[in-house]
Amino acid sequence: MFQPDLLKGKRILVTGGGTGLGRSMSHRFLELGANVVICGRREDVLEQTAEELTKETGAEIETVRCDVRLPDAVEAMMDRIWQKRPLDILVNNAAGQILAPTHKMSSRAIDAVLGIVLHGSAYCTVAAGRRWIDAGERNKVVMSILTVSALLGAPFTVPSAMAKAGVLAMTKSLAVEWGPRGIRTCAIVPGLFPTEGAWSRLMPKERGGDEELVKTIPLRRVGEHIELANLAAFLVSDGAAYINGDAVVIDGGKMQSGGGGASTQSMLDWTDEQWEAIRPKKK
């Protein structure tokens, strides 16, 4: 799909790169020649992923333990990364989620989600951007991984929707503020991509099995990690150098399916007989 050296020479930090979609994007970036750093809170997870990714791609990968909720820890991580070589691309991917009625959420739970997604993305973005701007470096990219809830809102995951909407606002604002300085921003809005993290937190069996979920997606399947990883590779590459401030939705058309209201969803599976039954009869 891409030339094999699409990302050659690019140094990329993927926050939350030890698991799930962050791991899959890191894998693809490495395959395409990038130099990748992954961060997260669990050192053992990072180490194991790094070992596996090196085995799978033959490329070396760096790990930094960092809790992105803590601004000092983020600065220390960026110092450590910059000591070796400045970044070219930041991918804000780390996230946390809680599925619960909003009026029953504790302030701690709300702070935890806002801390990782909203504050963490802001700290990482500002820490990288300041270093690029101070050094007069250009052709840099900040890409953030959002959720559909950033665009439409979502019941029962309200702190996440709020935080992701904030990151979208950051993406749009910095496209204008930092564009003239040679830094562009963009985002991906994923639909449903099975990962251990998201599925364990957001898909309890009470919500219906994967079969029920798939019925809500026009393409009748969940996303494959490689599909998102390829989009990510394109967006951070020089091939996408004129994309700035935009968020690309990759969800099999799920976001569009709200138009007719929830009741039209079941009509997608109607038989010809059911359609015939509601056809106006000739008088």
**Binding residues vs ligand NAP (CB under 6 A):** 15-16, 18-22, 39-42, 45, 66-69, 93-96, 116, 120, 145, 147, 190, 192-193, 195, 197-198
Q: Please, which residue, 40 or 159, has the CB nearer to ligand NAP? A: 40
Q: Please, which residue, 125 or 195, has the CB nearer to ligand NAP? A: 195
Q: Please, which residue, 178 or 193, has the CB nearer to ligand NAP? A: 193
Shortest separation between residue 118's beta carbon and ligand NAP, angstroms: 12
Shortest separation between residue 147's beta carbon and ligand NAP, angstroms: 4
Q: Please, which residue, 93 or 171, has the CB nearer to ligand NAP? A: 93
Shortest separation between residue 106's beta carbon and ligand NAP, angstroms: 17
Shortest separation between residue 256's beta carbon and ligand NAP, angstroms: 16
**Residue 65 backbone dihedrals phi, psi, to 5 degrees:** -80, 125
In 10 A of CB 99, how many CB atoms? 14
* Chain-centre distance for alpha carbon 190: 7
- Cβ-contact 254, 215 below 8 angstroms: no
Q: Please, which residue, 20 or 159, has the CB nearer to ligand NAP? A: 20
Shortest separation between residue 78's beta carbon and ligand NAP, angstroms: 13
* Chain-centre distance for alpha carbon 8: 22
- Cβ-contact 119, 69 below 8 angstroms: yes
Measure the CA–CA gap between 251 and 224, rounded to whole angstroms.
Answer: 10
Q: Please, which residue, 112 or 270, has the CB nearer to ligand NAP? A: 112
With 0-12 / 13-18 / 19 or more C-beta atoms within 10 angstroms meaning exposed / middle / buried, residue 190 is: buried
Crossing angle, helix 43-57 and helix 20-31, to 10 degrees? Answer: 30
Q: How far apart are the first and last CA of the chain?
A: 58
Q: Which residues does residue 145 pair with via DSSP β-bridges, in sequence order?
A: 188
Shortest separation between residue 21's beta carbon and ligand NAP, angstroms: 4
Beta strands in 72-132 (DSSP E): 89-92
Shortest separation between residue 27's beta carbon and ligand NAP, angstroms: 12
Shortest separation between residue 103's beta carbon and ligand NAP, angstroms: 23
Measure the CA–CA gap between 216 and 225, rounded to whole angstroms.
Answer: 19
Q: Please, which residue, 81 or 198, has the CB nearer to ligand NAP? A: 198
User: What is the tally of helices (H) and strands (E) in the chain?
Assistant: 12, 7
- Cβ-contact 195, 222 below 8 angstroms: no
Q: Please, which residue, 177 or 210, has the CB nearer to ligand NAP? A: 210
Beta strands in 28-85 (DSSP E): 35-40, 61-65
